[in-house]
Structure 1
């Protein structure tokens, strides 16, 4: 195949690839539609990539003349292996979305319309934003909320399938932060609906519900967090226990991390069995970021007496946390030391202090004073050692080379 020189004005200024669907923005520069839409909608940049002028209007005007020139050039060079570029479909508009949403209300058209909406959503980020502006997010949430309750009735099983499809579309829409806040305001009890799906749905619907909860919790205000029910924590913990996928595990952890600082949510999570589960998972996980998140959450839960009691009630709780010091990352070490600090300061019975000594906590803390681990972590390790120096400093469990770094008052 002979190498062909492509005219420079056929190339998109962003990707430097030949344009398949050239469009012109208000600054007069022409781009390939897919590239400029990714720039505007995914990267959320509001300036022209070439001129750096502000894009006051995101409308993209098709450059039909240039497209025909490109298609003609492709045909002329077909013998050199250049593939013809097909005429692009016109972009979806708000009116089309609204029509499909209306058709979704009709039982005989519901699944067909939902499947069309899903294809549109998966096609581009521009389509996602168009669907959101047409009210698709609220509409899909109402389908899920209103129809999932019929899952156990055989004569309404089609509605459950429709709810699962609507849930999938709602996740793939990747609704904006403002859109998520509006969705919660307009669809009361939607978090509870997702909780029901976590409890009764199949693995796929539970995955989508978990991922949606994570997105919602990232924008939820404190008032809504305080009102979360114990059942929501129980079902998120169950998802964590099932280890459906790495992405879902991270989303479940993030949801708990976002919600636990508010009200009595830490206690609700502890009562749902989060602490012993986290201890087991921290011991097994090999993925650094997941291990960090688990230690972050465990640190939050050990901020309450119930959480510390659960950790101490687990035969390997202290040992597992100590094992992660200097084994995961600086963040992991910091959180592990914070957990031990909570135990040493608020739950330090004589048996607990002896256990910390025997499983190597004291030696690990002395070691941290000798290495680079971050100033705050080092200060907290020093404070733990000083809190109980009378019990630990003369112990034969501490190696001599570590004992030399034991802090004195």
Structure 2
């Protein structure tokens, strides 16, 4: 096949592969449908790849003439190992989607219609955008909201309701709806975050993973008023996702959620009471990935700004030790976060027992290394600040190397 001379106009300008479903943009250039939709929708490029012109209209027109020419050429070259390209299915239109969304709201046809929607989403990026623009997110969110079992509900109805909720959540996840659509969804459906919390409490592993990923996207764009008023239950469930290690993506999303939520209102206290600190310490112990460690330390830094968070860190037998261990071993960012955590402990929770523990696990030695090494200016200043704060308690300690004594910061 490599020796076959393929007509240039059969090749997609983006992928340089034979076009299977040629379509023409408003700029007059023809591309393969899958390639140009990935360019526009996934990569969010609103220009024509060839002409670089802006695209005021992302609608494409099927180039049936070129498709037939490509199919005929494939047939002629079948002896050379070229397979004939099948005629593509016509793309879904808004009328079909509107009909499906209406059927989704009818209990008798709900599951079947949801499965059809899921199939359409898997076919193309265009279908995803078309389904989103038809208002699918609001309909799907309503299904998830209504999945809580009723007293008079039969067991079969409960199972169907749970299955419908799982399907709706799967579709919402794969839709990857826009920030604007997420904001609109929460504005119109204030209880949706509560519904996703219930999924985290009672759902299977896949549903919990999808709910976590969806919550991450929501918290990144939602109005801060929603972040301040969150209930403690959601922190308990996010911590549980972190502990269960459902999937790599869900664990990362759980960390990102905690990073996003902890700075607001009393969320530090809520997260600490939900067991976030020991879960983060265990995560750092078990996980050597740089980004995961950085996020966990960033959350711990936030939590140690409150008394509850500091108490939880000190209650963990490896809390101070693991924070100290990660300084100078992961990245400058991780070192700075680790030093901020130690600074919070040194300023607000420095009992004699705590100071003794910091000596025993090598914190003071690590602080000296930061001061003497090639750390950032911010890290050096923070390390000096901690050493000066407790210089009387630590200066004569044998854990400080003799060659550091001359430069040991003192008040």
Q: Residue 29 and residue 273 in structure 1: after superposition, are their counterparts in 2 closer, same or farther (change >3 A)? A: same
- Tell me the equivalent position of 1:337: 339
- Tell me the equivalent position of 1:154: 155
User: SS where residue 107 of structure 2 aligns?
Assistant: coil
- Tell me the equivalent position of 2:86: 86
Q: Which moved more, 1:395-404 or 1:9-18?
A: 395-404
User: SS where residue 59 of structure 1 aligns?
Assistant: coil
Mapped partners of 2:410, 2:392: distance in 1: 11
Mapped partners of 2:265, 2:235: distance in 1: 13
Q: Scaled by the length of structure 2, what TM-score is found?
A: 0.96
Conserved 8 A contact 1:366-1:403: no
- Tell me the equivalent position of 1:347: 349
Q: Does 1:364 align with 2:373?
A: no
1:170 to 161, 169, 172: 172
Mapped partners of 1:359, 1:2: distance in 2: 64
Mapped partners of 1:248, 1:2: distance in 2: 43
Q: Which moved more, 1:126-135 or 1:325-334?
A: 325-334
- Tell me the equivalent position of 2:45: 45
Shift of 1:362: 0.9
Q: Which moved more, 1:43-52 or 1:384-393?
A: 384-393
Matches within 5 A, 1:5-404: 5-150=5-150, 153-156=154-157, 157-404=159-406
Q: Residue 282 and residue 153 in structure 1: after superposition, are their counterparts in 2 closer, same or farther (change >3 A)? A: farther
Mapped partners of 2:252, 2:264: distance in 1: 20
Mapped partners of 2:395, 2:124: distance in 1: 63
Structure 2 gap segments, 5+ residues each? none
How many residue pairs match? The answer is 409
Conserved 8 A contact 1:230-1:269: yes
Shift of 1:408: 4.7
Shift of 1:150: 4.5
Shift of 1:27: 1.1
Q: Which moved more, 1:21-30 or 1:369-378?
A: 369-378
Shift of 1:153: 4.8
Shift of 1:394: 2.2
Mapped partners of 1:405, 1:10: distance in 2: 72
Q: Residue 174 and residue 5 in structure 1: after superposition, are their counterparts in 2 closer, same or farther (change >3 A)? A: same
Shift of 1:282: 1.2
RMSD (CA atoms)? 1.5
User: SS where residue 225 of structure 1 aligns?
Assistant: helix
Conserved 8 A contact 2:40-2:46: yes
Conserved 8 A contact 2:245-2:251: yes
Mapped partners of 2:154, 2:349: distance in 1: 51
User: SS where residue 218 of structure 1 aligns?
Assistant: helix
Shift of 1:407: 3.0
Deviations for 1:316-337, whole angstroms, at most 9, x for unmatched residues? Answer: 2111111111222222212111
Mapped partners of 2:130, 2:150: distance in 1: 30
Deviations for 1:160-191, whole angstroms, at most 9, x for unmatched residues? Answer: 11111111111111010000011111112110
